[in-house]
Amino acid sequence: MDEVLVLVQEQAEALKQLGAKLKEESEYTKLTACLDLLSTVGSTATYAQIGRVLGLFAGSAKLARLLGRKMTSDTAANRPLACALVVSAESGVPGEGFFAMAKKLGHSFEDAETFWEQQRDACFGATK
C-alpha cells in the first residue's frame, strides 16, 4: 500500500510540474505576442502593462525570467532584442536587468541608452 501512495504522490508531483511548465509556455507565448504587436505598431509598454497582460507582478522574478528567456532567444536568432520595448514607467527606458542581461548574452555597448535606442528602433524597423 505504501508503494502505491508513493507512486500516486510521484505522479501528482509530475502533473504539477507539467502544469507549471505549460503555464510558463503560455505566458511566454503571450509575452512574445505582446512584443510582436508592440513592434508592429511602433510602441513601447511598461513592465506593469506587460505584467497585467501576463497576470504577473511587474517586479516579479517570473516576469524577469520570461524577459530573459526572450532576450536569449532573440540573441541566438540574431534578432533585435524585443524586450527593449518594455520600459519603466518612471524613466521610459528598460530597467538595469535588461542591460545586464544584454551584456551577459554578449552584447557590448558603452552607452546604455544609445544601445537601448538602437535595439528599440531595430524592433520597429523589423516589421516594416
Please answer whether residues 84 and 39 qualify as being in contact, where contact means their C-beta atoms are separated by less than 8 angstroms: no
Task: Provide the 3-class DSSP secondary structure of residue 45.
Answer: strand
User: Whats the size of the chain, residue-wise?
Assistant: 128
pLDDT per residue over 44-100, tens digit each? Answer: 999 999 999 999 998 899 999 999 999 999 999 999 999 999 999 999 999 999 999
Count other C-beta atoms under 10 Å from residue 113's C-beta: 12
Q: How far apart are CA 60 and CA 30, in angstroms?
A: 16
Query: What's the whole-model pTM score?
Result: 0.81
Helix runs in 1-128, H state only:
2-41, 47-54, 61-76, 96-104, 112-126
Structural domain spans, the chain: 27-126
What would the pLDDT profile of 26-49 be if each residue is shown by its tens digit? 899 999 999 999 999 999 999 999
